[in-house]
Structure 1
């Protein structure tokens, strides 16, 4: 399989809602395998179609929790249900996240502690995953990509200003920029 270029903040595909997947063919199967390879090479724990320039509603994830349980899959045409987001400021130690489309940076962001993911797999079989903690965060982060949001779009106050400065300093925020995991070395 192949490692795909990852689009950087500012590319229009990252800032527009993705469309439903309608073709479950070999092209889709190959795309999903390439997305797994790209996510592993980055390295990351999730990767959405728009991040590799495919404006379709799908994402892959691969994360091992503290009890050594591996959570790996593809979510196609997902729906995400979340519990209310707790009030208060995000804890920089436990609630910081990063994004392969805003590479090398991490910012604290308050997310819901629980989520229910409903989607179909490559064989169009429906499934449901009830997630807590970090897995719930991964699902929310990837689902946002399908709606044209990056996590930095959700930041407020100081973290939002810092992210904006990073974006300006690195020349991001314009179409056509990408990086190739395993090849490009981005400053962090």
Structure 2
């Protein structure tokens, strides 16, 4: 008797010791022979060694072949025993493992590719009269401080040598003072000249 995976065909005569859902396949027996079997939990996974977890009998066909229905057991280590009339020695046996955890792991479904995000809408230009937008002078609420206004100083025109600015005014007053000084000198010179003429006339007399 062999242990076969539930998806393995009955023509296979090789034992499969690692299965999930499985069946027992008997062949090579006498026609219409009856085979009794039992499955026991086995170390190292058995809580109670020798505990029978599945049992039954199987009547074979005219070719000495037969199979059980599909069976399932919790994941673990087990031992199969079978007996039949006319057997030689003790019961035959085979050990096997059931492991359905990996079989239940199905490949994950492909994730749906992310949709491209919608482009952002352009911001609307500021409307006149709305705070904080172009074309508007914000009026502060009562009790709210008004940010200081920045004044831009207008630079004075650079002094030029063509009569503009303070230097030009100073230059225009300089000739007046000079002319006054010259006039005073001329007056003094005229007075001195008249003095010398008078003195010369007196000497001649």
Classify the TM-score, shorter chain.
Answer: under 0.3
Specify which structure has the higher proportion of strand: 1
TM-score (norm 2): 0.17
TM-score (norm 1): 0.18
Structure possessing the higher relative contact order (Cα contacts under 8 Å, 6 or more residues apart): 1
Specify which structure has the higher proportion of helix: 1
Which structure's CA Rg is the greater one? Answer: 2
